[in-house]
Structure 1
Amino acid sequence: MSDSTALQHQRKALRRELRHRRRSLSKREQRLASLALCNQLRRLPEVQRARRIALYLPNDAEIDATPLLDWFQHRGAKTYLPVLRPLSDNRLWFVHYHSNTPMVSNRFGIREPDTRHGAHHARRLPAWALDLVLLPLVGFDEDGNRMGMGGGFYDRTFAFVRHRYPRPRLIGVSHDCQRVDSLPLAPWDVPLDAIVSDRRVIRP
């Protein structure tokens, strides 16, 4: 078995274990974790400054940052949701989201703005033009390394952050139970500016 194949097997097994951890949380634990996460995020300077913010609708027991939507709106910020970009190699669009946005379920069963709605340029924003992105994590470690779902959507979409400025601040969010001592890293993993859980803030 090659080193790269062994790494993929290791990451797949760990991803399965960490997803099980968050699914094991009760509804009450999920709700309390969401509130604690949002309290942590409200205190961060980059969150307070941001005016164009991407976040996600939780799926598969991901921690829920959507209670911040009203707070963002009150501050005059615009919020955007990721949409699977059609006819592309696992990349994302970011479409302006409000209460009247037409929604559909994508091929993974995740709710997102309708592709036909998001196809209009005026309704979406290039990834580089966002101020802040809150992205879900499957796992993280104390060094600020992250593990996503494995599809590479965020890694491909934000690969430019290594060499472009200005760029959005990337903050990974997660249940604290998804923390591990050390993660096996892949060369394509996009680095984050911070990781926030319901219990801690880590800045790599």
Structure 2
Amino acid sequence: MKKKALIFSGVIVFIGFICFFFFLKKDNDKKIEIQKKENSYVTKINYGQTYTYDATKDGSYDPSYIKFIDSSHYVAVPVLDIKEDPEEDDGPAIYFIQGKYRKDEKSRFQLGKSIRNTTLIFDSYADFEKGDFKKNELSESQARKFMLPFEENFVQKKGKYYFYRWKTMQGDYPYHTRKGFVHLRKAKKDIPTTEKEFIRKYHKKQ
């Protein structure tokens, strides 16, 4: 009887040890994941570096990218979705924004001056794969109606990190807006610097 009790106690201790080990591993994995996220957050804006953010925060879900060219110009590729959707007959529309920004008295990067939006429209996904598109250029007033990420609003440093202040329109007219802040992150993807580079990237394959 005593032997069985010892075996049972040993099993309990072993199970407890295993549970404790997995708890420590899970906790450590969580800390590593948090550290990875923090390491990707932006502490300094560098010209020529492409940045992005977690698109689930503003409800767009497709990634948006921005690059600061110099002390007053930037480019952006918002809500980039080039995945094939079998349920859709239309192909993707890809936006390229060129604009100016200024730093205000609070050191915020105020976006949205002299906006120019070049849109490549593909009638089908097959056209996208062939690089066969229609080019559409929107004026600043037309572009603002879409309220695409990085067309306006600002980038601001809060504490150690830079954030993008997003704003979206929801519902039917009259629309109501949602606003918030999201960490900027360094992007693995690089976006074109000029409209010419942008068009060349998606132009017909020769």
The TM-score with structure 1 as length reference comes to 0.29
Rg comparison, structure with higher value: 2
Q: Structure 1 or 2: larger helix share?
A: 1
Question: Looking at both structures, which has the greater relative contact order when contacts are Cα pairs under 8 Å and sequence separation is at least 6?
Answer: 1
TM-score, structure 2 as length reference: 0.29
| More strand by percentage | 2
